[in-house]
Amino acid sequence: MKWKILLVIIIAAHALILAKMVFFPYPELFLYPYLANHGFLPYKQIFDQHFPSILMLPINISTFGLSSPATARMFSIGLAILAQILLLGISRSIFKSEKKAILVNLFYLFIQPVFEGYILWIDTFIVPATLAAFYLLWRFFEEKKLVFAFWAGLFAGLSVFIKQSMLPLAVVVGILLLVKSKSFKAAIIYGAGVLVPMAVLLFWIIKNGIFADFYYWTVKFNLEVYPKMAGKFPTLKQLARGIVFFAPAGLLFLTKARRKLVNIIAGLFLVFSLVAGGNRFELVHLQPALPFVALLTVSFVEALGKRLRPILLLAIFIPSVFLVGYLLRGLISTYVYFFDETTVATASEVDELTKPGERIFIMGSQPIIYPLADRMPAGGVFSVSLPWNIKVVEDIILAGIEKDRPAAVVRDFSATIDGIAVLDYMRKIDKFVNANYELAEKVGPNEILIPKKAINCNGVNAIVFDAKTGFKLPPQLESCGFRLRCAIK
C-alpha cells in the first residue's frame, strides 16, 4: 500500500510542476489540425517534412480535444502521468520490487521537466508508444509468445507513424528480436505489426494523390535541404545537462549487468530514441529517451550491490534535487508561448479588419494567428516561415497570393530564425506586399497591412461613424475595398 501512496505523491508532484511551469505548445499543434480540418492536404498545401501523423490527417489531435492552451497543457500533464504509470508497471515486472519501481518513477520526475518538459511537441506523444513497445518486446523474450512480438511491432510502428525519425529504432529492435530469438517467424510477425500503421498512412496518401509530394518532403527534402540549412548542435550547457543526468545509465554498461537482455533492450531504446532527435538539437527531442534513462539508472544502482547502493542513491538523489531546482528557476510562470497578449490582440485586430471567409497572409509573425482569427491562408498553401522551407516554396507562395490576394497581411520585421531576419529570405514576397499593401494598424511588432485601395480610394482616406447610427457603407466605396470600423466604443 505504501508504494501506491508514494506513486500518487510522485504523480501529483509531477503534475503540479508541469502545471506551474511556463508552457510552450508548438503552434503546429493547433495550426496544422486547423488547416487539415478545412481541407488542406499535407505536402500539397501544407509544406512540412514530418509525417501527417497526429497533426495533418482528417482525424487528428483536435479531434480528441486539443484546441486551446488549457487543453494542450492537460495533454502535456496527462502524457507525463501516463508515462509514470507505464513506468511503474514495467519496473515492477523487471525488478520484482516496488521500492525499485518507485525509484524509477522518482528519477523520471527529476529528469522529465528539466529536458524542456514544459514544451509540448510530437516527441512528447512518442513516449507512451516506445514504452509499450519496450515492455511488449521484453515480454516476448520472457514468455516466447508471438502475440507479444506483434504488439511490440505495432507500438514501434506507431512511434514511426508519429515521427518518422523513429524508424531506425523500429528496425534495430527487429534485428535484435531476430538475432536473440533466432526465429524468422517472430521477426516477420514483429515486422507485420510495424507495417500496420504504415500501411494505413500509405493508403491514405495514395488515395489523396500526394505520394510524390509526400516522398519529396519526408525523404528528399530531409536528406538534401534540411540538414544543410537547419543543422543545430547542442550548446555546452545542454551537453553538460545531458552528461550529468544520463551518466548513471551509461555507467551501467561498465558493469556485468550490461549482459542482461532487459538492459540491452533498454539501452537500444535509449540510444535510438536519441538518434530520432535528428540533426537539429533541442532538449525536447530527448524526451522519448528519458524513461529508459530512469530505468537504466536504477539498474545501475542495483548492479553495485547492497553495500554501495545507499551511498550511490544519496550521491544521485541529493545533487539531483538541488540541480533540478536550479535548472527550473525562472520557469515557474503562467506564461504561455504564442498565446501572449500581443499575438491575441493581433488576431483580434485581423478579425476586425477582415470579413469571415476572407483569407490573410502571415509573414514573420506567429502563424497561430490563422486559427486565432479563424482565417485561412491566402493562395491555398501554407508554410511556416523557416529559411529551409521558404527556400523551396517562396515562388509557390508568391504565385498563390498574387492570384488569391489576401484581405490582410500580418508582418513582423523583428522576427528571426537562428539569428537571420525572416524577411531576408522572403524578399520576393516582401516586394509584392510593399507594392500592393499599406499599413492599417500596428500591434506590438506586428504590422497589419490591407490592400492600398482599401485605404485610399478616390481621395477618401477614412470613414468614422457612430455604431448607434446604423450607418451603411455606400456600394461604390465597398467596391473599392473599404471596411467600416467603429471609432466610438
DSSP 254-287: GSGGGGSHHHHHHHHHHHHHHHTT-SB--GGGGG
| pLDDT for res 465 | 47
Say which amino acid occupies 439: L
Given a cut of 50, the residues of the chain with pLDDT beneath it are 454-469, 476, 479, 486-489
What span, in angstroms and rounded, lies between the C-alpha atoms of 406 and 437?
Answer: 10
Q: Which residues contact 32 (CB under 8 A, 6 or more apart)?
A: 42, 46, 48, 55, 56, 60
| pLDDT for res 372 | 96
Altogether, the residues listed in the chain come to a count of: 489
DSSP 409-472: EEEETT-EETTEEGGGG-HHHHHHHHHHEEEEEEETTEEEEEEGGGT-BTTB----B-GGGT--
Query: Do 143 and 226 sit in the same domain of this protein?
Result: yes
289 belongs to a structural domain: yes
Task: Catalogue the E-assigned strands of 328-430.
Answer: 360-363, 382-383, 408-412, 416-417, 420-421
**Number of domains present in the structure of the chain:** 3
Query: Do 168 and 54 sit in the same domain of this protein?
Result: yes
Query: Do 180 and 302 sit in the same domain of this protein?
Result: yes
Q: Distances from the Cα of 346 to the Cαs of 5, 109, 451, 484, in angstroms?
A: 47, 38, 17, 18
Domain of 399, in residue numbers: 341-455
Query: Do 241 and 179 sit in the same domain of this protein?
Result: yes
For 177, the grid coordinates are 528480436
Query: Do 322 and 353 sit in the same domain of this protein?
Result: no
Grouping H, G, I as helix, E, B as strand and the rest as coil, residue 51 is coil
| pLDDT for res 487 | 43
Query: Do 314 and 355 sit in the same domain of this protein?
Result: no
pTM for the full predicted model: 0.88
For 255-284, write each residue's pLDDT tens digit.
Answer: 888 889 999 999 999 999 988 777 788 999
For 298-357, write each residue's pLDDT tens digit.
Answer: 999 888 877 777 777 777 777 777 788 888 888 999 899 999 999 999 999 999 999 999
336 belongs to a structural domain: no
Strand partners, 403: none
Query: Do 76 and 106 sit in the same domain of this protein?
Result: yes
Query: Do 231 and 378 sit in the same domain of this protein?
Result: no
| pLDDT for res 37 | 96
What span, in angstroms and rounded, lies between the C-alpha atoms of 417 and 403?
Answer: 28
Determine contact, residues 343/445, Cβ cutoff 8 Å. Answer: no
Query: Do 345 and 426 sit in the same domain of this protein?
Result: yes
| pLDDT for res 313 | 75
| pLDDT for res 2 | 78
| pLDDT for res 464 | 46
For 293, the grid coordinates are 534513462
| pLDDT for res 1 | 63
Query: Do 129 and 254 sit in the same domain of this protein?
Result: yes
